[in-house]
Amino acid sequence: MASRSIRLAIIPGDGIGPEVVAEGLKVLDAVAPSSGLAFERTSYDLGAARWHRTGETLPDSVLDELRGQDVILLGAVGDPSVPSGTLERGLLLRARFELDHYVNLRPVKLFPGVATPLAGVTPGDIDMVVVREGTEGPYTGVGGVVRKGTPQEVATQESVNTAFGVERVVRYAFEVAASRPRKKLTLVHKDNVLTFAGDLYQRVVKRVGEEYPQVTTDYCHVDAATMFFVNQPGRFDVVVTDNLFGDIITDIGAAIAGGIGLAASGNVNPDRTAPSMFEPVHGSAPDIAGQGKADPTATILSVAMLLDHVGAADAARRVEAAVSDDLAERAALGARSTAQIGDAIAKRVSG
């Protein structure tokens, strides 16, 4: 069958990034041909090493090249040798903002066979999707410092929220909710304290919700939401929330669904004015880098999300099923290396 060509940018990054990305690509290679897909790959050397060498995080020229790609797969960036925030703001967040990744999509799903730290919880109890806003809120970088280093220092951070930005992510979240069996959307915010931003989110959810009468909506303060993630995770189906709250609750989501080694994410530009970027939620974990200890599952599940995004839903379902089957047997298999897990999943996908 004739294959459809997709330009794939790869940013392996630092630490365990290259190791997990290698396994993600292995699985992609296993699933692509029979799905009629051919990925034209370009790898970009970005991250701590490049910053040390050149002082660059995400140069304009590379950003321009990325714009010409169809989709991006990122491993992880960051290293203790680089000042905190340098790569996060200069590379990761810059990519999310410049490529207008206004939806940060993070499924929280407990697969059968996976151990959760929660007592008495079964897979059916944890199955939600967090739709995190990706281009606004406290992540804008707006703010500053005066009288730095003096007893009179003042440091500010500003959360910027626009009707434009809130509406587009809320609308996306309603679409996701409408496509799921439970059709429930929960707004998570802190509207009793962050009254201006919270009120904007509330009004937009109410207004857009009128177009989705089939979707039930409710509201939960972020502090209560974190508690419910731990003691009543079944309350949630689809969650929509701002950039910072989404960052926080998706880490609890990862924890309850079996750990950061399994949490996938997509930085999505639903309007397709620029390529979307898929990445595991975990960081570069320099402490275990190069030892074959990293779990590539989050990256492989991110590859499944990437396949969905490029319209290859069948291939995405096959990758997910292979991961699910692997996870179900994992406890019985004992310790495996990063590559062994990737091999096993790739084999299931091909077989």
Ligand X SMILES: CC(C)[C@H](C(=O)O)[C@@H](O)C(=O)O
Can you give the binding site for its own copies, defined by CB under 8 A? Answer: 78, 84-85, 88-89, 93, 116-120, 138-139, 141, 143-145, 147, 149-164, 167, 190-200, 202-203, 222-224, 226-227, 229-231, 244, 247-252, 254-256, 259-260
The C-alpha atoms of residue 129 and residue 167 are separated, in whole angstroms, by 18
By CB under 6 A, name the one of 92, 204, 300, 346 that touches ligand X: 92
Report yes or no: 165 and 102 within 8 Å, Cβ to Cβ.
yes
Residue reference for tokens 């703001």: 89
User: Does 16 participate in binding ligand X (rule CB under 6 A)?
Assistant: no
CB-nearer residue toward ligand X: 92 or 188: 92
The C-alpha atoms of residue 8 and residue 71 are separated, in whole angstroms, by 5
**Could you tell me which stretch among 10-18, 42-50, 85-93, 118-126 binds ligand X (CB under 6 A)?**
85-93
Residue 70, binding choice from its own copies, ligand X, none, Cβ under 5 to 8 Å by partner class:
none
Residues in CB range of 299: below 8 A, 6 or more apart: 20, 21, 23, 24, 73, 75, 264, 279, 280
CB-nearer residue toward its own copies: 139 or 172: 139
By CB under 6 A, name the one of 88, 167, 175, 191 that touches ligand X: 88
By CB under 6 A, name the one of 247, 295, 308, 320 that touches ligand X: 247
Report yes or no: 89 and 83 within 8 Å, Cβ to Cβ.
no
User: Does 227 participate in binding ligand X (rule CB under 6 A)?
Assistant: no
CB-nearer residue toward ligand X: 156 or 192: 192
Which residue, 270, 325, 308, 340, is CA-closest to 35? 308
Report yes or no: 87 and 117 within 8 Å, Cβ to Cβ.
no
Report yes or no: 208 and 167 within 8 Å, Cβ to Cβ.
yes
Residues serving a catalytic function are: 139, 190, 223, 247, 251
Report yes or no: 302 and 268 within 8 Å, Cβ to Cβ.
no
The C-alpha atoms of residue 171 and residue 286 are separated, in whole angstroms, by 38
**Could you tell me which stretch among 45-53, 88-96, 209-217, 306-314 binds ligand X (CB under 6 A)?**
88-96
Residue 63, binding choice from its own copies, ligand X, none, Cβ under 5 to 8 Å by partner class:
none
Residue 338, binding choice from its own copies, ligand X, none, Cβ under 5 to 8 Å by partner class:
none
- Report CA 174 to chain centroid distance, whole Å: 18
CB-nearer residue toward its own copies: 39 or 229: 229
Q: Nearest distance from residue 282's CB to ligand X, in Å?
A: 9
The C-alpha atoms of residue 75 and residue 91 are separated, in whole angstroms, by 13
Q: Nearest distance from residue 118's CB to ligand X, in Å?
A: 21
The C-alpha atoms of residue 47 and residue 87 are separated, in whole angstroms, by 7
The residue ranges that bind ligand X (CB under 6 A) are: 88, 92-93, 192-193, 223, 247, 281
